């Protein structure tokens, strides 16, 4: 019996693969998001600054940036299923070890290893495209993309509850039995892929790209200490950009580049790839800012507990669940360009409104604006990956989606680092208590840091909107 979504009938085969891949997506997103409400707790536990704790997020995305192109090419060469299973097993071990990290340095290192999990969804997308007919896969991909929201919706309240009443480490451990079962189910149910393209891996390009973002990220992390106008900061930025320039030159001359610069001549490929970078940057920058706003003391924040922060964020993430299939249908009816232009415009307005809410300081207003922003972000996320795969040959699907993931993770890496640096730079005193009639203050991130964060996020969404006008029909 066939079931339909948005008027498109999906076969039993499609639903079977979707059940497995969607469950994997939910589980991995649970693991990625479960640590988000605990950023302030981790900061205090390990005695680090806001700019340093941002590496709990950025280390994983930076490592994922390195893993994604490698695993994409390996999936094209050796098969999607085999590479997916190996990735899941390594990911399982990394999650287990992360839950036991004794120091902040080891925590960051293990989160980096855990970054291999960020390559799971791109492989899942290409496995679906490899097996499903053209009419079904846009809807199927919309469903997979929307399940990211389910993982977040589960992780934020449950993870926050476990972190508040037990520990954030225990919240990690709850994912291990689920991951073990999913590895077995994936082995039994998922089909092997047919496409095989034997290509070498560009390790030199990979090293240049990773080094450039390490240098850039470290420079922004140290900016509050060095000074934003200091010689050290600008030398670091110049060095990082110089290495990035070397990477681009290398990619133009190598036979099997990680990111084929020539692909950017096709607007239907260039726009999704570039928008993945700028949207990923703005989204992760905003996420870190929101967690701090909710949990910082009044009058700067809302003095929420970890649990209340998770409960506040969880319903918002469900928008992705309903928006994913809806945008899949809209793309089939009104086209990729219109959906991408409109949704990025919504995200732009949402970012500007979020900046205004920092001074309004009304919780319900903040939540409503976040919902509005998420509607735009959901559309941008679903549309750009579907457009990219629709514009890519079957043989290069895994490689291209790996490239897309790399572009998104570049933005994900820099977003939290810059948000953390702004929060460390702009400080404001808060009254702690009186000692013998003398007021004792302590410093927390000031409103200026959050206004700048949301303004930057709005600017990135606007860049996506401008780029989207270049998409061809």
The predicted-structure confidence for 214-268, as pLDDT tens digits, reads as follows 899 889 888 888 989 899 999 999 999 999 999 999 988 887 777 778 778 888 8
With contact defined as beta carbons under 8 Å apart, do 374 and 319 qualify?
A: yes
- Which tokens in the block code for residue 366? 């903040």
pLDDT at 441 over 80: no
With contact defined as beta carbons under 8 Å apart, do 89 and 36 qualify?
A: no
For the stretch 90-145, pLDDT in tens is 999 999 998 888 899 999 999 888 888 877 877 877 777 777 777 776 677 767 76
What is the Cα–Cα distance from 61 to 55, expressed in whole angstroms? 9
Residue 67: its pLDDT value, please?
81
- 153 against 21, higher pLDDT: 21
Averaged pLDDT for residues 54-62 = 84
Q: Which residues pair with 445 in a beta bridge?
A: 427
Helix (H) or strand (E) holding 438: strand 438-445
- Which tokens in the block code for residue 72? 């994409």
- Which tokens in the block code for residue 356? 């205004």
Question: Of 57, 27, 37, 20, which Cα lies nearest the Cα of 175?
Answer: 27
Residue 244: its pLDDT value, please?
92
Residue 402: its pLDDT value, please?
66
On the CB side of 455, CA atoms within 13 Å amount to 9
Neighbour-count burial of 412, counting CB atoms closer than 10 A to its CB (0-12 exposed, 13-18 middle, 19+ buried): buried
pLDDT band for position 36 (cuts 50, 70, 90): confident
Question: Of 178, 177, 230, which Cα lies nearest the Cα of 425?
Answer: 230
Residue 7: its pLDDT value, please?
52
With contact defined as beta carbons under 8 Å apart, do 143 and 22 qualify?
A: yes
- 154 against 448, higher pLDDT: 448
Residue 398: its pLDDT value, please?
60
pLDDT at 14 over 80: no
pLDDT band for position 180 (cuts 50, 70, 90): very high
Residue 2: its pLDDT value, please?
45
Residue 1: its pLDDT value, please?
42
């Amino acid at each position: 019996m066939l079931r339909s979504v948005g008027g498109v009938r999906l076969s039993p085969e499609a639903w079977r693969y979707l059940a497995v891949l969607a469950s994997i997506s939910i589980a991995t997103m649970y693991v990625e998001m479960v640590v988000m409400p605990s950023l302030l707790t981790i900061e205090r536990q390990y005695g680090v600054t806001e700019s340093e704790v941002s590496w709990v997020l950025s280390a994983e995305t930076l490592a994922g940036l390195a893993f994604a192109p490698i695993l994409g090419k390996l999936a094209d060469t050796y098969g999607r299923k085999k590479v997916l299973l190996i990735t899941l097993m390594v990911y399982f071990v990394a999650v287990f070890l992360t839950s036991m990290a004794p120091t902040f340095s080891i925590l960051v290192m293990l989160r980096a290893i855990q970054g291999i999990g960020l390559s799971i969804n791109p492989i899942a997308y290409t496995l679906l495209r490899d097996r499903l007919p053209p009419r079904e896969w846009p809807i199927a991909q919309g469903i997979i993309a929307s399940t990211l929201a389910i993982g977040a919706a589960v992780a934020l309240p449950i993870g926050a509850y476990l972190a508040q009443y037990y520990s954030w480490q225990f919240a990690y451990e709850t994912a291990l039995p689920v991951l073990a079962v999913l590895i077995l189910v994936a082995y039994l149910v998922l089909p092997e892929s047919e496409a095989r393209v034997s290509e070498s891996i560009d390790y030199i390009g990979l090293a240049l790209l990773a080094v450039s973002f390490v240098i850039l990220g470290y420079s922004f992390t140290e900016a509050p200490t060095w000074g934003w106008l200091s010689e050290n900061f600008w030398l670091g930025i110049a060095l990082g950009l110089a290495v990035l320039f070397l990477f681009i030159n290398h990619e133009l001359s190598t036979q099997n580049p990680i990111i084929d610069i020539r692909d950017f001549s096709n607007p239907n490929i260039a726009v999704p790839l570039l928008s993945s970078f700028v949207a990923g940057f703005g989204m992760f920058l905003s996420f870190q800012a929101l967690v701090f706003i909710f949990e910082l003391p009044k009058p700067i924040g809302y003095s929420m507990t970890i649990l209340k922060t998770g409960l506040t964020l969880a319903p918002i993430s469900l928008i992705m669940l309903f928006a994913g299939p809806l945008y899949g249908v809209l793309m089939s009816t009104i086209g990729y360009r219109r959906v991408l232009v409109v949704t990025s415009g919504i995200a732009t307005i949402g970012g500007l409104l979020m900046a205004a809410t920092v001074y309004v300081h009304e919780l319900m207003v903040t939540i409503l604006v976040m919902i509005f922003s998420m509607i735009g972000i959901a559309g941008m996320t679903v549309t750009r990956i579907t457009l990219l795969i629709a514009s890519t040959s079957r043989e290069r699907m895994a490689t291209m989606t790996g490239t897309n993931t790399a572009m998104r993770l570049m933005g994900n890496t820099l977003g939290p680092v810059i948000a953390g640096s702004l929060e460390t730079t702009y400080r404001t005193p808060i009254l702690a208590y009186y000692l013998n009639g003398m007021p004792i203050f302590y410093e927390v991130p000031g409103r200026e840091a959050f206004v700048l964060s949301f303004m930057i996020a709005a600017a990135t969404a606007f860049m996506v909107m401008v780029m989207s006008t270049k998409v061809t029909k």
